[in-house]
Chains A and B, each alone.
Chain A
Amino acid sequence: MDFIFYFGEVFTLTSMLLLIGGTIGGLIMGATPGLSPTMTVALLIPFTFNMTPVHGLILLGAAYTSTVAGGAVSAILLKIPGAPANIATTLDGHTMAKKGEGAKALQLSFISSLIGGLFGVFLLIFLTPELAKLANEFKTPHVFWLAIIGVTVIGSLEAGSVVKGLLSGCIGMWLATIGFDDIQGVKRFVFHPALGGGVNIIPALIGLFAIPQVITMFSKGRFQTDMEQIQVKKHPIAAAFREVFSRKRALAIGTGIGSIIGLIPGVGGQIAGLLAYDQAKKFSPEKAKFGTGHSEGVIAAESANNAMVGPSLVPLLILSIPGSPTAAVLLGGLVIHGIFPGPNLFIEYPEVIWPFINSMLIGQILMCIFGIYIASLAARVAQVPQSVMAAVVLGLALFGSYAVQQSMGDVYVMAVLGTMMYFLERFGFSAAPLVLGLILGPIAESNFVSGSLMASAQDGTFAFFFTGGLNILLVSIVVLSIGLSLWSEITAKETER
């Protein structure tokens, strides 16, 4: 119950202003198609530099929470999911809006997001310290394998093909080795002076997530958005609360599935929303109503994608393995403030981590309140022309990546990586495993090198990295994650034939 003692920091004026600003900004960004939660958090990181770690993390946490929920606004009112996590919401939410129940759909969406989100954050509060105690057993070879697991799990799940996902992870790990080697001080792979200091995580994150979006907007040309915003009529909020609580089955399925999916490294909100929608439909006595504007569809999907947020931070905070691509960017946010996640995080930085987690609790409540009242405004902002959106994101990417170290080299790295990522994504590669490789690469390398040194004084490298119960378990997870993904890819291809 340590978290209770750290609420004070959340209720300071600065923290509350950041929380409110991050929530409102996140709701608007989330509602804007093309601005994903991952990109929003990546673009916000440079703004947290001048802040204390607590304030920086509060802003990023608020943005993460509200962008996921904000995506429901455009999913319901414009039939365009603001983020992949909101795809399932479109199915019933937009139909409800077309039937004149737009306000009701939005209220159901934000209330179920609140309930799912609160459950997820409580899971984070109570599960993380306990699991951290178990994680204390991890030694050098185990940490190396954990870093590899982070890359392989997300690599085998995120990309268009398992091999390309793993290849993306390898590219990320190689990029992490550019610059001076930590032990010998040797310059490695420095092909240009801009790479002298290595690839800085923040410009890389901005480039990898923002620039492909900008080029995608360019590739649509002088695109006339024919989005028709549905006008929202008033609906009593008390009735929406009654409706959510009368649909306990859908709420429980959404919250449960979202929480479990969040705990699995790399899976993310898109799968949570779709899986919860599917299961809620299977277990509902009103199956036929799904897809025709049924409230259970919205409740299941939205409770799931927000329930995923808290648990996605559990593997991140204990093992440095993010539960979702956005959590991977948050890992970058933690690292730039000098906070390296691990089993001792709650012992070394309780004054930073607990206020951050507590702020996510308060953030969920603010998200629900602001979400219900500014949904129409957010939907209007979502209709901003793509031409303006692309130029804004490009400007923010340039200033944001320069501000990190006030170096043009970072700007060039951001632009080159981003452009290459756009083309790679067109051919089935994925940014998420590449980012994970970039972030976890140094952790894997330092543990691999020190492990190899220790191994040479003991039983040899093979025995050091491949024997012992925990090593065998971790290696099995690596092999299983790759094997299962390959198997499902092969069977999917055979079914297609």
Chain B
Amino acid sequence: MKILQHKISSGFVALVALLVCYISFTRQPVEAYLFPRLISFFFLGLALWTFVKALLGRSKAGNGLSMDMFKNMAPGVAISAIYIFWAAKGLGFYTATTIAFFLLVTSYDPASHSEPKTWVKRAIITAGFVAIMYALFAKILVVYTPRGLFI
């Protein structure tokens, strides 16, 4: 499993390196791509070395990902992706942050989900965090965040 993961990750890096190298050596004007050509030459060389090592099963650096880790992170990554790539702009930063924060804290909180007290605690923590962020960014730093449907 770990060997396959090494092959996929190093294969992906090698593919990116190949694309960068191809673009650098085919696009014009040459002067603009002088440095990318130099970098991509080493980038591709090192990426291919890593990929070949992975194919031969000799890539050992890094622990890879276990199925448990993947299952654990999946809900958090999904909530974060929706939050960052859609909700922040679609609903407004503060509304999206309130929802995402509450969902994340609830999903990963080791405390019981059947006790009403723990839900109140999570709601208070969420409200406190969003209030601090609002004070800090909207009032002190005067950052105009996307409003979306709400704020």
Contacts of B10 in A (CB 8 A): 427
List the A side residues contacting B110 at CB < 8 Å: 222-225, 385, 387
A478: min CB distance to chain B, Å: 12
| Chain B contact residue count (CB 8 A cutoff) | 72
- Produce 1/0 per residue, B113-145, CB < 8 A to A: 000000000000100010001001100011111
**Chain A, residue nearest B69 (CB):** A219
- Contact across chains for B39 and A170 when beta carbons are under 8 A apart: yes
Q: Flag if B61 contacts A160 (CB, 8 Å).
A: yes
State whether the Cβ of B20 lies closer than 8 Å to any Cβ in chain A: yes
Main secondary structure of the interface of B (DSSP, over half): helix
B13: interface (CB < 8 Å): yes
A163 touches B46 (CB 8 A): yes
| A49 to B137 CA separation, bound complex (whole angstroms) | 12
A402 touches B20 (CB 8 A): no
Provided the pairs A160-B61, A219-B73 are in contact, do residues A167 and B46 lie with their beta carbons within 8 angstroms?
yes
Residues in B neighbouring A427, C-beta threshold 8 A: 5-6, 9-10, 59, 61-62, 64
> CB-CB < 8 A to B133: which residues of A?
395-396, 399
Question: Smallest Cβ distance from A59 to chain B, in angstroms?
Answer: 13
A379 to B93, CA, bound (A): 32
Closest approach, in angstroms, between the C-beta of A200 and any C-beta of chain B? 15
Contacts of A218 in B (CB 8 A): 72-73, 75-77, 108
Chain A residues near B142 (CB, 8 Å)? 50
Which residue of A166, A391, A394 has the most chain B CB atoms within 10 A of its CB atom?
A391
Known contacts A219-B72, A399-B93, A406-B143; decide if A167 and B9 are in contact (CB<8 Å). Answer: no
C-alpha gap A231/B118 in the complex (Å): 26
Contact A215 B76 (CB under 8 A): yes
B57 to chain A, nearest CB (A): 14
Chain A proximity of B134: nearest CB distance (Å): 10
Q: Which of A49, A177, A429 contacts B35 (CB 8 A)?
A: A177
**B35 & A448 in contact (Cβ 8 Å cutoff):** yes
**Considering only CB atoms, which chain A residue lies closest to B75 in the complex?**
A218
Q: Would A390 and B43 count as touching, CB distance under 8 A?
A: no
**Chain A residues whose CB sits within 8 angstroms of the CB of B6 once the complex forms:** 427
Q: For the complex, what is the distance from the CA of A448 to the CA of B108, rounded to whole Å?
A: 49
Q: Which of B35-67 contact A (CB under 8 A)?
A: 35-36, 38-40, 42-43, 46-47, 49-50, 53, 59-65
Number of interface residues of A (CB under 8 A): 65
By a CB distance below 8 angstroms, the chain B residues around A161 are 60-61
Contact with B along A375-414 (1 / 0, CB 8 A): 0000000000111101110111011001100101001100
**B-side contacts of A170, CB under 8 Å:** 17, 39, 42-43, 46-47
Given A49-B141, A222-B109, A402-B143, A445:B63 Cβ within 8 A: no
Q: Which residue of A lies closest to B110 (CB)?
A: A224
Query: How many Å lie between the Cα of A387 and that of B101 in the bound state?
Result: 9
- Residue B15 interfacial (CB < 8 Å): no
Q: Is the C-beta of A428 less than 8 angstroms from some C-beta in chain B? A: yes
Across the interface, which residues of A come within 8 angstroms of B88, CB to CB? 398, 402, 408, 411
Q: Which B16-37 residues sit within 8 Å CB-CB of chain A?
A: 16-17, 20, 23, 27, 29, 31-36
Assembly CA distance A449 to B70 (angstroms): 44
Task: Mark out the residues of chain A between 143 and 194 whose CB falls within 8 Å of any chain B CB in the assembled complex.
Answer: 159-161, 163-164, 166-167, 170-171, 173-174, 177, 181, 183-184, 186, 188-189
Q: Which of B31, B60, B93 is in CB contact (< 8 Å) with A449?
A: B31
Which among B17, B32, B49 has the highest number of chain A CB atoms within 10 Å?
A: B32
Contact A395 B97 (CB under 8 A): yes
> Are A394 and B38 in contact, CB atoms less than 8 angstroms apart?
no
Please pick, from A223, A395, A424, the residue contacting B9 in the complex, using a CB distance under 8 A: A424
CB distance from A188 to the nearest CB of B (A): 7
Smallest distance from the beta carbon of B93 to chain A beta carbons, Å?
Answer: 7
Please report B residues at the A interface, Cβ cutoff 8 Å: 5-6, 9-10, 13, 16-17, 20, 23, 27, 29, 31-36, 38-40, 42-43, 46-47, 49-50, 53, 59-65, 68-73, 75-77, 80-81, 83-85, 88-89, 93, 97, 100-101, 104-105, 107-111, 125, 129, 133, 136-137, 141-146
Can you report 14 residue pairs joining A to B where beta carbons are below 8 Å apart? A161-B61, A164-B50, A167-B43, A170-B39, A183-B32, A221-B108, A222-B110, A387-B108, A391-B100, A394-B80, A395-B100, A398-B83, A398-B84, A406-B143
The 3 closest A-B pairs by CB, nearest first: A428-B61, A160-B61, A218-B76
